[in-house]
Amino acid sequence: MKYVGRKICFVFALVVTSNLGFGQPNEITVRFIGNCGLYLTDGELNVYVDFPYKSGAFGYMEYDEAQLDSIKEDAIFIFTHKHGDHYSRKHTKRVLKAKNGEKFTPWNISKLEKRSETIPDFDFEAFKTKHRFSFNHYSYLITWHGKKIYLSGDTESAETIGKVDDMDWAFIPYWILYDAEENDIEIKAKMKALYHLYPQQKIEGEIPDDMVVLNVQNQLIRIPY
Ligand SMILES: [Zn+2]
């Protein structure tokens, strides 16, 4: 019995030291900036999705200067399309100049699929999806430390996401939920995050346990791996 006790202690000590040793717990954090704007990091790699956008564009969420100042050096910037509520040419240009980093849009997205092969534990897949008034719109699937994170962007239909299996987190605008329901499409994600709400927009009804509504800017989602 004494031996077993010591063994457990040893394992426990090992876990504690390895956490201290690497300085980072094993998790991906996702910070919701606004609209479809997200900041994802595992403590090593910094990824921004649909940010910087044009603050307040089309009546959607605003953000302040500090948000731009806080952008990390050498980050990866991914855009689903180039509408103002997802992308600001001016801010992106300025950020890239000041803080380096790499920009990927529907126009060069195949480069990120190549680039992801050089990033450990990070896989990237792009799906061409439809969005009104935008002839070039993509949704993305990031597989990072084995966690599958789907980024829907502004697409209207749940058709594409319906074909993706075993997602850990699906970031979707609320209309994708309605479309999925109407067309009997299952969204196979353990957790769903609803984004792209208007600043004062309310979601009616009870929020199920496997869903997070991103209506508060800077709220955090933690994805342990
Ligand atoms: Zn939009």
Spacing, Cα 154 to ligand 1 middle (Å)? 5
Spacing, Cα 98 to ligand 1 middle (Å)? 26
pLDDT of 7-23, one tens digit each?
544 455 444 444 444 44
What is the mean pLDDT of the segment spanning 124-139?
87
Spacing, Cα 218 to ligand 1 middle (Å)? 18
The pLDDT of residue 82 is above 70: yes
Pairing state between β 147-151 and 220-224: unpaired
* Contacting residues for 172 by C-beta, under 8 A, at least 6 apart: 150, 152, 161, 187, 192, 193, 194, 195
Spacing, Cα 159 to ligand 1 middle (Å)? 18
What is the mean pLDDT of the segment spanning 94-117?
95
Spacing, Cα 105 to ligand 1 middle (Å)? 15
pTM score, whole prediction: 0.88
Domain extent at residue 163: 2-224
- pLDDT value at position 24? 62
- pLDDT value at position 59? 97
Spacing, Cα 197 to ligand 1 middle (Å)? 9
Spacing, Cα 13 to ligand 1 middle (Å)? 48
Spacing, Cα 86 to ligand 1 middle (Å)? 6
- pLDDT value at position 204? 83
pLDDT band at residue 202 using 50, 70 and 90 as cut-offs: confident
Spacing, Cα 85 to ligand 1 middle (Å)? 5
Residue 146 belongs to domain with CATH number: 3.60.15.10
- pLDDT value at position 1? 45
Spacing, Cα 60 to ligand 1 middle (Å)? 8
What is the mean pLDDT of the segment spanning 138-167?
96
Spacing, Cα 190 to ligand 1 middle (Å)? 24
* Contacting residues for 115 by C-beta, under 8 A, at least 6 apart: 102, 104, 124
pLDDT of 179-200, one tens digit each?
999 999 999 999 999 999 999 9
Percent of the chain whose pLDDT exceeds 70: 89
Number of independent structural domains in the chain: 1
What is the mean pLDDT of the segment spanning 47-55?
98
Spacing, Cα 207 to ligand 1 middle (Å)? 23
Spacing, Cα 167 to ligand 1 middle (Å)? 23
What is the mean pLDDT of the segment spanning 156-173?
96
- pLDDT value at position 180? 96
Spacing, Cα 163 to ligand 1 middle (Å)? 22
